[in-house]
Amino acid sequence: MTEVDKKPVKIMETVLRDAHQSLMATRMTTDQMLPIIEKMDKVGYYSVECWGGATFDASLRYLKEDPWDRLRKLKAGFKNTKLQMLFRGQNILGYRPYADDVVEYFVQKSIANGIDIIRIFDCMNDLRNLQTSVKATIKEGGHSQVGLAYTLGDAYTLDYWIEIAKRIEDMGAHSLCIKDMAGLLLPYKAEELVKALKEAISIPIQLHTHYTSGVASMTYLKAVEAGCDIIDTAISPFALGTSQPATEVMVETLKGSSFDTGLDQKILAEIAEYFRPFKEEALDSGLMSNKVLGVDIKTLLYQVPGGMLSNMVSQLKEQNAEDKYYEVLQEIPRVRKDLGEPPLVTPSSQIVGTQAVLNVLMGERYKIATKETKAVLSGEYGVTVKPFDPEIQRKVIGDKEPITCRPADLLEDELPAIEEEMAQWKEQDEDVLTYALFPQVALEFFKYRQAQKTKIDPTVADVVNGSYPV
């Protein structure tokens, strides 16, 4: 094999973000991460995903940690490896669209604190919702990667993906990610899609998938053979199930081929050895369930991401209606169709899932519509690939005129008011952004942080979990 024939595949490691988010509800602490960083930095990963997604909210809410502080510590440890984050476009890391000034400031501070690559996606694949964050990332000198939320449906043809990929390249994105959040991309479909995209665009293509449906490793292999440049994997203790394929397995699979990653299995084995006790601890404590480690073929049958299924089960349990599980599963595709067939990814997956549960429990479809369903049908989340069902739209929002412009164009700047509102708690510039995204959770955290600086009454302090008050 000549040097010309070699096309080494790059690896993004997800253990510090998506892997533990998918398997143990984003509960890995910064202290658990820091001791292994020096070793991870020697592997030769293309990048390490360590921030964004649900890590921000979970750090504040459950771990009583400042996510910005985590990012700074990780940056100090990773001297040779790029740090990557997941960013929900105009929704940032929250669940509603934010004004452009908040989006721009968040991007600026993320890069200033250590992020190199920002993967930006929108739950509707409405590129208008990405333009502010893409421009801001480029302006701040970061790598702007646009994630296409991969899904199935009549509208999602090869032509659709090619056309949208060309628009992404025209936006100035540095790379494109096929973001298969539900594990729906089958091996030969991946080969077809990657080949078509490689012919249509010149920017690098990265593939992200989940093992939920059991096909992910095969999907990666066919994608790599078709020209995929980068794949997302997780070190073995936190791989498979609802997480990603195992890093070591993909490295070994490609070894000796023209796609050889060049990563050192000895170092990877040491990293796996380090993380194994955290997995065992999570299983013993019930933080990680064996359910998330298996293969769930229902993902392919109902096109529902694993996290959405568990959310739905807990909603039904609360209403003592677990017997309605299959009714709700059948209702989900109907609701999705009513709402313009969006990809099912945060927050659209929660919106569709909750509405499907309500439709079944009420015995009448859309007798009660959530405020989020109303917002989708009012155009507040952006344009969908197919039109809404006009009858459902009328039933839910009445004669209200839906918006057709970029939703954020209707939002006034938010930062000045937020600055004023939380001024008494501000200890660093980034606190303003923390409060902007999660006001209630941020307030609780700021109070906790302040309490740490004063004498804590041991009778009311939860010493074991480090949260205060109990």
Note whether residue 460 is domain-resident.
no
Residue 39, domain CATH: 3.20.20.70
d(CA 265, CA 317): 44
* Structure-token pair, residue 120: 């930006």
The residue among 302, 352, 350 whose CA lies nearest residue 330 is 302
Residues 326 and 227 in one domain: no
Average pLDDT over every residue of 415-436: 97
349 pLDDT above the threshold of 90: no
Give the C-alpha distances (Å, rounded to integers) separating 276 from 177, 228, 236, 381.
29, 30, 8, 40
**Hey, is 112 helix, strand or coil?**
helix
Pick the range with the lowest mean pLDDT from 248-252, 301-305, 434-438, 441-445.
301-305
Residues 333 and 251 in one domain: no
The answer to whether residues 385 and 364 touch, using CB atoms and an 8 Å cutoff, is no
Three-state SS at 355: helix
Whether 26 is covered by a domain: the verdict is yes
267 lies in the same domain as 329: no
Q: Which of 226, 258, 290 is the last residue of a domain?
A: 290
Q: Would you say residue 57 lies in a domain? A: yes
Same domain for 319 and 183:
no
How much is the average pLDDT of 235-252?
96
- CA–CA dist 140, 248 (Å, integer): 34
Do 286 and 309 reside in the same domain of the chain?
no
Confidence class for position 4, pLDDT limits 50, 70, 90 = low
User: Number of structural domains, the chain?
Assistant: 3
**Whether residue 226 is found in the same domain as residue 85:** yes
Q: Is residue 466 part of a domain?
A: no
pTM of the predicted structure, to 2 decimals: 0.92
* Side chain identity, residue 214: G
The single-letter DSSP state of residue 14 is: -
Same domain membership, residue 372 and residue 317: yes
459 pLDDT more than 70: no
Task: Specify the CATH number for the domain of residue 389.
Answer: 1.10.472.90
Q: What is the rounded distance in angstroms from the CA atom of residue 92 to the CA atom of residue 129?
A: 10
Give the residue from 349, 334, 360, 395 showing the smallest Cα distance to 212.
349
Q: Are strands 205-209 and 175-180 parallel, antiparallel or unpaired?
A: parallel
Q: Is residue 2 part of a domain?
A: no
Residue 449 belongs to what domain range?
413-454
Answer whether residue 2 shows pLDDT above 70: no
Distance CA 13, CA 293 (A): 18
Q: Which of 147-151, 189-193, 301-305 has the lowest mean pLDDT?
A: 301-305
Shared domain check, 138 and 234: yes
Residue 461 in any domain: the answer is no
The answer to whether 71 and 113 have CB atoms below 8 angstroms apart is: yes
- Mean confidence (pLDDT) of the chain: 93
Residue finishing a domain among 369, 404, 439: 404
Residue 470 pLDDT more than 60? no
Q: What is the CA radius of gyration of the chain?
A: 22
Distance CA 60, CA 21 (A): 14
Residue 343 near residue 161, CB atoms below 8 Å: no
- 148 or 303: which carries more pLDDT confidence? 148
| Two structure tokens written together for 201 | 């665009």
What's the token pair of residue 27? 């509960």
- The mean per-residue pLDDT over the stretch 76-92 comes to 97
Confidence band, pLDDT 50/70/90 cuts, at residue 357: very high
Residue 455: predicted pLDDT: 57
Q: Are residues 319 and 385 in the same domain?
A: yes
**C-beta separation of 119 from 84 below 8 A:** yes
**Would you state the pLDDT for residue 450?**
93
Whether the Cβ atoms of residue 64 and residue 466 lie closer than 8 Å to each other: yes
User: What does the pLDDT read at residue 127?
Assistant: 97
- Indicate the burial class of 426 (C-beta count within 10 angstroms; 0-12, 13-18, 19 or more): middle
User: For 146-264, where are the alpha helices, taking DSSP H only?
Assistant: 158-171, 187-200, 216-225, 247-254
The answer to whether residues 365 and 420 belong to one domain is no
Q: Is residue 200 part of a domain?
A: yes
4 lies in some domain? no
- In terms of domains, do 284 and 154 share one? yes
Q: Both 116 and 259 in a single domain? A: yes
